[in-house]
């Protein structure tokens, strides 16, 4: 059901879309988002060929807020704060061997157990019409791959505790954009890294199309959209599509973004 739902949603949103909001006429922005998806645990041979895979579904939610610095000014600097929660009843792919000296392998699924994490992410951002960039602090030690979350006996080194983004070009036209650990929600909103192009699609929509890297076993395609409902309220939709070892890896998320205090420029 999940691959079918994600594919259908992706087809429906192709004519419309968006990436991040242009902050030039906004003092304060808040957003609430939620999503659902599936990651994969994959067993491979020495050549990297997938032998067996198991999928585990998850859901995540997030909130975000941005304000100009100083508040109410026309400054290009914005302070941001994101936070979120992720949870999954997950299992990993297993293998067992027998029949020495000619080993016969059988594959299966481990017992499921609940795993979760939460995070907050303050940031400072510089946003103008033709360039945008930002850097922030990520509070949680979240592994870069879903597989590492499943291995409870593995002692992971600390991940880089930062978030960042870069935009080159006018948001109202074709532009390049990439981000690290800034999607909302963090995982179903596009995962750790996305890189691609943003572009308008009609008067009321903007789009971002690109690649999604991290958390999932394989690179996937991400489509993010924003549709302007009125002068202050937007709705966001993100679809992530991918596959690993024959198992669907992807997500569908949505949310609302509200803008306060338009500034005439």
Q: Give a yes or no: residue 131 inside a domain.
A: yes
DSSP state of 10: H
User: Does the structure show a pLDDT above 90 at 5?
Assistant: no
Task: Quote the pLDDT of residue 15.
Answer: 36
Q: pLDDT tens, 24-44?
A: 455 789 999 999 999 999 998
CATH number for the domain harbouring residue 169: 2.40.160.40
Q: Give a yes or no: residue 143 inside a domain.
A: yes
User: Does the structure show a pLDDT above 60 at 150?
Assistant: yes
Q: How many domains does the chain have?
A: 1
Q: pLDDT tens, 61-103?
A: 999 999 988 877 778 899 999 999 999 999 989 888 776 666 6
Task: Quote the pLDDT of residue 20.
Answer: 42
Contact 174, 151 (CB under 8 A): no
CA dist 51 → 40, 116, 129, 149 (Å): 13, 27, 49, 20
Q: Give me the domain span that covers residue 177.
A: 2-39+57-90+114-262
Burial 151-167 (b: 16+ CB within 10 A, else e): eeeeeeeeeeeebbbeb
Run of H or E including 7: helix 2-13
What's the pTM?
Answer: 0.83
Q: Please name which of 118, 137, 22 lies closest in space to residue 80, comparing C-alpha atoms.
A: 137
Q: Give a yes or no: residue 61 inside a domain.
A: yes
User: Does the structure show a pLDDT above 90 at 231?
Assistant: no
């Amino acid at each position: 059901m999940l691959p079918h739902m994600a594919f259908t949603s992706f087809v429906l949103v192709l004519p419309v879309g968006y990436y991040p909001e242009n902050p030039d006429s906004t003092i304060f922005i808040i957003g609430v988002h939620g999503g659902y998806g599936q990651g994969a645990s994959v067993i491979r041979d020495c050549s990297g060929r997938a032998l067996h895979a198991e999928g585990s579904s998850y859901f995540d939610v997030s909130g975000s807020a941005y304000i100009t610095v100083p508040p109410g000014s026309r400054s290009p600097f914005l302070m941001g704060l994101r936070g979120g929660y992720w949870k999954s009843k997950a299992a990993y792919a297993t293998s067992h061997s027998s029949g020495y000296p000619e080993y016969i392998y059988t594959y299966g699924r481990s017992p499921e157990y609940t795993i979760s994490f939460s995070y907050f992410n303050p940031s400072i951002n510089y946003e103008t019409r033709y360039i945008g960039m930002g850097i922030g602090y990520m509070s949680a030690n979240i592994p870069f791959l879903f597989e590492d979350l499943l291995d409870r006996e593995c002692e992971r080194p600390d991940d880089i505790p930062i978030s960042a983004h870069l935009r080159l070009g006018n948001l109202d036209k074709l532009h390049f954009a990439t981000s690290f650990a800034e999607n909302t929600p963090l995982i179903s909103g596009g995962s750790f890294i996305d890189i691609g192009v943003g572009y308008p699609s009609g008067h009321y929509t903007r789009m971002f199309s690109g690649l999604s890297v991290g958390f999932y076993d394989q690179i996937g395609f991400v489509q993010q959209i924003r549709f302007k409902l009125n002068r202050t309220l937007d709705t966001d939709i993100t679809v992530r599509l991918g596959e690993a070892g024959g198992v669907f890896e992807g997500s569908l998320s949505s949310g609302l973004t509200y803008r306060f205090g338009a500034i005439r420029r």
